[in-house]
Amino acid sequence: MISNLIGGLKAYLEAYEVISRLKLWRFFMIPMLISVVVFLSIVLISISFSEVIGLYISSFWSWDFGKETINTISKILSGIILISIGLIVFKHLIMILSAPFMGPISKKIEDDFTGVTSKTQVSSSSTLILRSIKISSRNLFRELLFSLPILLLGLIPFIGFFSFILLFLMQAYFAGFGNMDYTLERHFSYQKSIQFVKVNKGIAIGNGLVFMLFLLIPFVGVIFIIPFSVTSATIATVKIINQ
């Protein structure tokens, strides 16, 4: 797993060279725009609802003493929870909406890597979207299911730090999973793709770690997150498949 993890991380070092050499930037323009629009929408929605939810939570504090403090804490906590959930949804939304563009791009990268035109064909846009919805729905359900208790554990002193690391790694895994599937869809069925990622979870985590770190870079990260993460995931996945 460690070697796969390193492989998933190292693939990012090749990504820029591959994108530039194959002149893929123009193909990434629409997915990059989708990423920015979806991210800004989620942030605005989270900010709007954080105050409403925060006021609802603070309403359970019926005493005048410390009322303002409770209101502030409630708004901050609700904002953190909403943004955390929003980032989870963000990953899967952009993967679904970008699927018709990512399949052909992934194929170009694979053909360049192998040096031959692969016989595997890119599925139609509707097929790519349907598969992406299927994969993302499965992963989103599991991610939300495990994230909520981890977020609650984060409220406990001392444990909060470790729960944050666990949450970060889990989100990285599912992000890498989605990025890898743009390549896997040409080689494996839905079930076999899931098994492939489970066996090679190190690649998914390595790819997803950088994906999540991109989100920490204000605005710029959201713009370039798709080109670099998908390209590196394709490189790492193709290497494993060819082995």
- Summarize pLDDT for 2-15 with one digit per residue, the tens: 777 888 888 899 99
Assess if residue 143 is contained within a domain: yes
Alpha helix ranges (H) inside 59-124: 67-114
The dihedrals phi and psi of 96, each to the nearest 5 degrees, come to -70, -50
Distance separating alpha carbons of residues 210 and 79, to the nearest angstrom: 24
Among the listed ranges 24-38, 112-126, 208-222, which one has the minimum average pLDDT value?
Answer: 112-126
Among the listed ranges 18-22, 160-164, 226-230, 238-242, which one has the minimum average pLDDT value?
Answer: 160-164
Assess if residue 74 is contained within a domain: no
Assess if residue 139 is contained within a domain: yes
Q: Which residues, 6 or more positions from 123, have their beta carbon under 8 angstroms from its beta carbon? A: 103, 131, 185, 186
Domain count, the chain: 1
Assess if residue 72 is contained within a domain: no
**What mean pLDDT comes out for the span 126-148?**
86
pLDDT at 119 over 70: no
Among the listed ranges 56-60, 79-83, 110-114, which one has the minimum average pLDDT value?
Answer: 56-60
Residue 198 has what DSSP assignment?
H
Give the angle 234-238-241 at the CA atoms, nearest 5°: 140
pLDDT at 240 over 80: yes
Which pLDDT score is estimated for 25?
A: 93
The model's confidence at residue 83, banded by pLDDT at 50, 70 and 90, is confident
pLDDT at 232 over 90: yes
Assess if residue 113 is contained within a domain: yes
Assess if residue 159 is contained within a domain: yes
Tokens representing residue 96 in the block: 């679904």
pLDDT at 57 over 80: no
Assess if residue 149 is contained within a domain: yes
Assess if residue 19 is contained within a domain: yes
**What mean pLDDT comes out for the span 126-132?**
85
Distance separating alpha carbons of residues 98 and 236, to the nearest angstrom: 20
Which pLDDT score is estimated for 234?
A: 94
Distance separating alpha carbons of residues 111 and 195, to the nearest angstrom: 24
Domain that includes residue 225, residue range: 2-28+99-242
**What mean pLDDT comes out for the span 61-65?**
70
